[in-house]
């Protein structure tokens, strides 16, 4: 009987092992699907392979870290509520590019292309080329010594070559064509170039400067199309005159919104929206989706009705005094003055919204325009 019992035991053990590994595989599949599950319900038979991002500090996850510029955020208290600490993101936590990739079910974080830790595998699902303090106006990036929009396109070309080398021409073409592209810049043209330097205002009124930059935006989008992009979302400008630092600079003793900056932002958005409309009408850009994503009024709603969204403060940032600090001025010496809970603030520093604000804004904007991407 002993050999038979041993056979039964061995058979039971084999069945147990098979069952065990089946359960493990099932759990892995469930967890993997949960991690990559889109917050959005995508149309049937639609695939989003990657998210590629261009622009300024709103979507820069650390490309500026090793540049000789003051436009950086790779030190505390930046990243205070981020799992990896300070990374170069101009936020207490995630930035819109991360949340957009999460919404489309691609991945939880979009790394900086220039981050030494970024791997070849990361490129296949998207990276950010954005550079804090950049703008459509070439002078904006030049003044801040950061990567101009044209330079970001050159980095994308380099990235495409690496992708082709890794997976071949055919799969690379699929990745590039089925990716989502986000372009987010323009605020620095207003706050840092037009109103803070003497170079543009003597030559352009508000509408003229908006038109000037719209031409650069138009060319950028066409160049992006030429590199294979087919689903392109262009974020408009926010009510830049209502961010804390601009209230302090141009809002008078009551720190009201700096209305001249808001007027330029509105004019700028009208021109950018016009660019999108004109590109949609061009027959030489087939099978391409161009989408204008309005951020102006959704953010203005948070600023004007903070309690409605669970905020307590909308006119000051959490970092330091909250009146002016941003970039290198929001630094470790700001920590003792910083608010204990950034989720109560619409703005993290004097220029950039908090992670909570982004988490409210991104789903609103993407859901509104989801079907336009496909």
Number of H helices and number of E strands within the chain? 12, 6
> Distance between CA 42 and CA 82 in Å, rounded?
28
Instruction: Say which residue the tokens 């904007």 belong to.
Output: 365
Judge whether 203 counts as a catalytic residue: no
Judge whether 191 counts as a catalytic residue: no
Find the helix or strand (DSSP H, E) in which 184 lies.
strand 180-184
Judge whether 189 counts as a catalytic residue: no
> Distance between CA 348 and CA 251 in Å, rounded?
19
Contact 236, 183 (CB under 8 A): no
User: 81, 131, 187, 352: which one is catalytic?
Assistant: 352
Phi first, then psi, for residue 317 (nearest 5°) are -85, 165
Q: Find the radius of gyration of the CA atoms of the chain.
A: 23
Find the helix or strand (DSSP H, E) in which 250 lies.
helix 244-250
User: 60, 98, 294, 349: which one is catalytic?
Assistant: 349
User: 56, 57, 81, 98: which one is catalytic?
Assistant: 57
Instruction: Say which residue the tokens 């981050």 belong to.
Output: 115
Residues noted as catalytic? 57, 349, 352
């Amino acid at each position: 009987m002993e050999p038979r019992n041993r056979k039964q035991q061995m058979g039971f053990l084999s069945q147990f092992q098979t069952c065990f590994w089946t359960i493990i595989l099932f759990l892995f599949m469930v967890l993997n699907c949960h991690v990559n599950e889109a917050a959005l319900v995508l149309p049937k038979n639609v695939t989003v392979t990657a998210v590629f991002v261009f622009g300024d500090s709103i979507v820069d996850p650390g490309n500026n870290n090793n540049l000789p510029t003051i436009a950086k955020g790779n030190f505390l208290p930046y990243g205070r509520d981020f799992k990896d600490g300070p990374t170069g993101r101009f936020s207490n936590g995630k930035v819109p590019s991360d949340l957009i990739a999460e919404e489309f079910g691609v991945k939880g974080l979009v790394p900086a292309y220039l981050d030494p830790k970024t791997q070849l595998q990361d490129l296949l699902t998207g990276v950010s080329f954005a550079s804090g303090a950049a703008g459509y106006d070439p002078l904006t990036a030049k003044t801040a010594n950061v990567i101009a929009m044209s330079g970001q396109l050159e980095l994308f070309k380099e990235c495409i070559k690496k992708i082709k080398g890794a997976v071949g021409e055919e799969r690379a073409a699929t990745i590039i064509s089925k990716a989502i592209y986000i372009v987010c810049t323009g605020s620095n043209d207003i706050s840092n170039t037009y109103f803070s330097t003497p170079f543009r205002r003597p030559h352009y009124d508000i509408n003229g400067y908006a038109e000037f930059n719209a031409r650069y935006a138009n060319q950028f989008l066409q160049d992006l199309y030429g590199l294979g992009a087919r689903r392109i979302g262009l974020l408009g400008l926010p009510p830049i005159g209502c961010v804390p630092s601009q209230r302090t600079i141009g809002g008078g003793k009551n720190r009201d919104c700096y209305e001249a900056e808001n007027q330029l932002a509105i004019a700028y958005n009208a021109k950018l929206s016009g660019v999108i409309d004109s590109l949609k009408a061009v027959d030489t850009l087939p099978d391409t989706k161009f989408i204008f994503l309005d951020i102006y009024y959704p953010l203005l709603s948070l600023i004007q009705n903070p309690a409605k969204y669970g905020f307590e403060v909308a006119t000051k940032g959490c970092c330091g005094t909250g009146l002016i600090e941003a970039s290198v001025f929001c630094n470790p010496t700001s920590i003792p003055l910083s608010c204990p809970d950034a989720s109560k603030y619409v703005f993290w520093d004097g220029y950039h919204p908090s992670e909570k604000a982004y988490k409210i804004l991104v789903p609103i904007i993407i859901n509104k325009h989801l079907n336009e991407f496909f």
